[in-house]
Amino acid sequence: MLKAVAVVLTVILPVLLFRARAMADADLSIVGVLFLLRSVLLRDWSWLRVRWVQCGLALWALITLSSALSGPMPSFVQGLLSLRFFVFCAALAYWVLTGPRAQRALASVCAALAVWTVLECWEQYLTGTNMFGYPRWGDGALTGPFIRPKAGNALLMVLFSGAMPVILARLQKTAWRSRLAGGLMLALSVITMILIGQRMPTLLTFVGLLLTALLVKPMRLPVLGVAVLSGLFLVALPVVSPPGYAKLVLKFSHQMAHFAESDYGQIYGRASAIIVAHPWMGTGFDGFRIHCLDPQYLHDMPALHIPYIAPPQSGCNLHPHNYYLQVATAAGLPGLALFLMMAACWLRIIVRPHLPAKAVERVSRARESVPATPQNAMLLVACCVQLWPLASTSALFSVPPAGWLFLTAGWALAASGAGLRSGR
């Protein structure tokens, strides 16, 4: 009964991450509590012996300790409650999503959300508003089914985990109609992402396509074709969508040419100054937001070629806009090392189905492996995209970003046979 409830909550979680962040946070928290209750009832705490879980719990403990030492109390409480994300991920990997039916149901929901986002973006582009009556954002970005410009990141979160397995399955068939349908679906998804006009989701989409082409040989020619088509669409973008061209091409080019002086450059410089001043313990869960205006951090970062530019508010935000910088400011370089180790452990397990048979035991210390499928291949790509270090991101330990990251990681671990152990 506990698992049935947890599966239902997990399957509906992507919908809540789209539309109701508070309910999504409650949803994944309940799944974590149910998993702990199940562990108590069965006296099964074997998941605590998994290396990535140990790294994650050590990171959580370090963030909580740093928050307690740095203060204030709300920062400590938030650091303490961040435990829910690590437990939720373990619950998916070793309990909730171990069955194929649950994985298929979750994939169907993500695919449906991807289709809905694409349709809403085109409705807004062609008619001026989405189904809720909201126009595109003031800077030209399409908002899809949202009020604010969140369509690009939302589509990215469900594109590789939901839509791409369907596309990949079509492209791997021999019938030309199936392959044509897969190619058209792929082209439509990428063109829609460009049309949305958000820079980082568009870049990460092409990173994911490159990884897909490297991982799945039949995808190389379709990805090359879509890359050429995307280049042609970018050339036509000033006519097709002048606001999208202004934001996606002109503004991005200007930011890259003057990155150190931009708001993002100033934020990264301020985060680096905090890390240099507190390399061992960081400044706690919410330390960047709390301390970014402290005078001791208002200086140049010559090693990064980032000058300090007044006013100091230009280097401040709720978070450093990068997962790795956020972890380092919260828990110092030891915390960053733990986060990197946890991510490496994730990827070592997730990549296992796609390795040669002789390499499986050497890489993952397991004698068994599930077969490679379009689903676990695309979940590997989805994890790599979300963990890509050269990216501007939202806050790591807040919902929806944490919901997507730990949902994708737990799902990918389960789909890759994380529960398989030698001798079991």
pLDDT tens for residues 105-134?
Answer: 999 999 999 999 999 999 999 999 999 999
d(CA 404, CA 11): 13
Confidence of residue 21 (pLDDT cuts 50, 70, 90): very high
- Is 265:308 a contact under the CB 8 Å cutoff? no
Residue-wise pLDDT for 63-77, tens only, equals 999 999 987 899 999
* pLDDT over 70 (residue 205): yes
Quick count: other Cβ atoms within 10 Å of Cβ 272? 19
Listed by start position, the domains of the chain span 2-255+336-415
Confidence of residue 218 (pLDDT cuts 50, 70, 90): confident
What is the reported pLDDT for 140? 81
Confidence of residue 139 (pLDDT cuts 50, 70, 90): confident
What is the reported pLDDT for 368? 58
What 3-state DSSP class applies to 234? helix
What phi-psi label fits residue 144: left (phi over 0), alpha (psi between -120 and 50 degrees) or beta?
A: left
Q: What angle do CA 376, 57, 386 make, to 5 degrees?
A: 35
What is the reported pLDDT for 26? 97
Residue-wise pLDDT for 301-359, tens only, equals 998 889 999 888 888 999 999 999 999 999 999 999 999 999 999 999 999 998 876 65
What 3-state DSSP class applies to 420? coil
What is the reported pLDDT for 251? 86
- In this prediction, residues 380-399 reach a mean pLDDT of 94
What is the reported pLDDT for 17? 97
What is the reported pLDDT for 362? 59
Residue-wise pLDDT for 286-305, tens only, equals 999 999 999 999 999 998 88
What are the tokens at 249? 């091409």
- Kindly give, in sequence order, each residue whose CB lies less than 8 Å from that of residue 254, ignoring residues fewer than 6 positions away: none
Nearest alpha carbon to residue 328 among 336, 338, 320: 336
